[in-house]
A and B are shown apart, each in its own frame.
Chain A
Amino acid sequence: MSETSPVLPLNRGGHVGHCKRFLAGLPAGAVEADASRVAIGFYCLGSLDLLGTLETKTRPEERAAWIRWMWEQQSVCGYGTGFKGSNYMTIDIRSPPSAQYAEYDTPNLIMTYTSILSLAILRDDLSRLDRKGLVQFVRSCQREDGSFSALPSGGETDLRCVYCAFAISSMLNDWTGIDLNRALAYIRRCEDYEGGYGQQPSDEALGGTTYCALASLYLAPSNASAQRLIDSAFRARTIRWLLHNQAVDGGFSGRTNKISDACYCFWCGASLAILGAGDLVDNAALVAFLARCQFSMGGLAKAPEKPADPYHTYMALAAAAVLPSPHVNETWTLSRLDVLWNTTEGTAAWLRKHLTEKA
């Protein structure tokens, strides 16, 4: 299929414009993002980073203001220190709220992971990060069964939160916030008969959480336990299942017999890259699909003919970055991706210098 029709070039200018519009503001209809604006910021900044245009297409004073806003989301609570997804419940940052109020405005583990990445993308030196408080916060998000929840007070527990805990711990090079044996056992319990990992134990195999499981297992310190090693038979099943999620249109679905979606091109493609099987993907067909997901007004959508959004824009670009296909169409050449942290190699190097190696 990729041989028959030429791949549409990457609309760099359009995608930069899309990200800048969302960084500047969201319409009232996007109110569901109220509690997670940090994530929107990460998708937009991450896209600009992948496109290599952050420094040239945004002004230094804009970046300085974004950095100030990001730091305002770092907050200390009874559970340690983390980042909130936005100031949607914040009433005053100069005087801390009562413990009673703070219970309804705690930091969020997923938002903490995306905040650290966003600050590194903006090349902040991260010296204001409360490392000790952060480790305490990670610890307070772990549950009895080894899983993690996004909020220390409870709520959703799943592999996404496990991944964020592992990513943060590896960035800090401090694993004292995680009971590794229990966490690794939990990941194992999410294995599904098809070869993927479900969001929680006994859930259906899903591309996104398969990435979370694999990245966590590969981020875990090498001396952790034998549990971090993936059994070779299950690894073969995982590779087979992931590759079969690539559909005739070139895109990947997140589950067997579902339709293709640009975000799963990243989740499945990155999972394969982690397993050292990225070169088995038909990347020419993949980039052709991603190219068709480009929205006429800029940005990328989950599928052709759908409206673009920051999440799918970032995931589609990250997919193209993790499984490059320069021989197909060179306009799609992007910054290289650090697949385990899900950020550009440049940003990962910045994190290592300013965070990991300062441990």
Chain B
Amino acid sequence: MSYIEEDEESGPPLYCERPEWADVTPIPQYEGVSSPIAPIFYTPDYKDATDYFRGIVKTGETSERVLELTEDIIRMNPAHYSAWQYRYRTLLALNAPLDAELRLMDDFAVNNLKTYQVWHHRRLLITHLTVSTPGAKPTADPLDTAQAELEFIVHVLDVDTKNYHTWSYRQWLLAHFDDSALWLGELPYVDELLQADVRNNSAWHHRYFVVFGRGSKAQATPAEEAEVLQREIRYVKGKISFAPNNISAWNYLRGILEYSKTPFSSQAVFAESYTVRRAPWDDEDVVDLDNPKPSTDADLPSVSAMDFLAEAYAREGGDSITKAVDLWKALANQHDTMRKKYWEFRIKESLETKSG
């Protein structure tokens, strides 16, 4: 349903030159004062199209040719939100096939990943396509539609694995349709992304959202919840063992411990092996599956591990504070000097709490 001429080089004629638009009165933009702020030196095409757009909005026309005009404008300026709004209104007024509109928007989204309107328009289309009204079935099957969207987003995230709008849209889809069949595929997908790039914080965040953020999962029993937590702790520790300095993974570990109110000290043994340069357990035969050791080529000590272990000690309080202070001193003076003032602040703060 694209109205764009295939051969864009020659350029389509201006609207003011086209007889089929002769019945529309173009309206120029009000120019106002003689020296406005940041005026834009428009191209003749953009000025022509927006003159006709203002003319159309004034008469309130909602016809096929309005789709052509608004598509033209958003291709020149994807942030023209009036054109987006008016396009959506026209689609509804014409009872136009919204799945065709979605396909038109597929490429558009990939080429304009950072434009908010692209994603908002999609939300409106998907919602409208799948809404059921009393006595009438939705135009499209909600589950099939959502599944197809999730697949489309995989394709978009291939282009930019950390695109904020795209992730936000994926999370909206999952929450909006909230069907177990949809949620089921998410952890394997996240795992795939983390295998490709373990430092992808958006993927870690999505994992947290899927495991702990699903509002409707309240049916889980405490035993099931405990099992999920253990599974996640094992998972993240496995990822840390391959890349001990990856702060995204450490933040995930901290996040799930905070969420489940599990003391950091429960993971002190694990963290400790990442805080020393030479691993004394190199010769040990016993493999502790719950506490995977750093890989032999790991760059140690890990600043994040020291930060974690110090936090665990500090929360234990009492004599453990001294051990936290030693770690913070090492961070401040040797391993993470950029945050020297922060680590010194932590030392000061904890000693005040201890004495106070």
Contact = CB atoms under 8 A, between A and B. Distances in A.
- Interface-centre pick from B27, B38, B213 (highest chain A CB count, 10 A): B38
Interface string A64-78: 011011101000000
23 contacts: A27-B40, A31-B43, A31-B76, A33-B40, A35-B79, A35-B82, A66-B35, A69-B35, A69-B36, A88-B29, A104-B86, A151-B81, A192-B205, A193-B208, A193-B252, A193-B255, A194-B251, A248-B338, A256-B247, A257-B201, A257-B246, A258-B201, A280-B342
B262 interface: no
Q: Is the interface of B mostly helix, strand, loop or mixed?
A: helix
- Interface-centre pick from B77, B116, B200 (highest chain A CB count, 10 A): B77
Interface stretch (B7-15, B53-61, B278-286, B292-300): B53-61
Interface in B44-76: 46, 50, 54, 57-58, 60, 76
A202 B120 contact: no
B223 interface: no
A38 B82 CA distance: 16
Nearest to A283: B341
A25 B38 contact: yes
Nearest to B50: A88
Interface string B69-108: 0000000111111100110000000000000000000000
A28 B33 contact: no
B338 A246 contact: yes
Interface of A: 22-28, 30-38, 40-41, 44, 62, 65-66, 68-70, 72, 87-93, 97-98, 100-101, 103-105, 151, 153, 155-156, 192-194, 199-200, 202-206, 237, 239-241, 243-244, 246, 248, 250, 255-258, 277, 279-282, 285
Given A34-B77, A105-B82, 11 more contacts: A23-B38, A62-B35, A68-B32, A69-B33, A87-B36, A98-B58, A192-B205, A193-B208, A193-B252, A257-B247, A282-B339
A243 B339 contact: yes
Chain B interface residue number, banded: 35 or more
Contacts of B342: 239-240, 243, 280
Interface of B: 27-43, 46, 50, 54, 57-58, 60, 76-82, 85-86, 116, 120, 162, 164, 167-168, 171, 175, 199-202, 205, 208-209, 212-213, 246-248, 251-252, 254-256, 258-259, 338-342, 345
Given A32-B78, A282-B340, A200 B168 contact: yes
Nearest to B201: A256
Given A28-B46, A32-B77, A32-B79, A65 B34 contact: yes
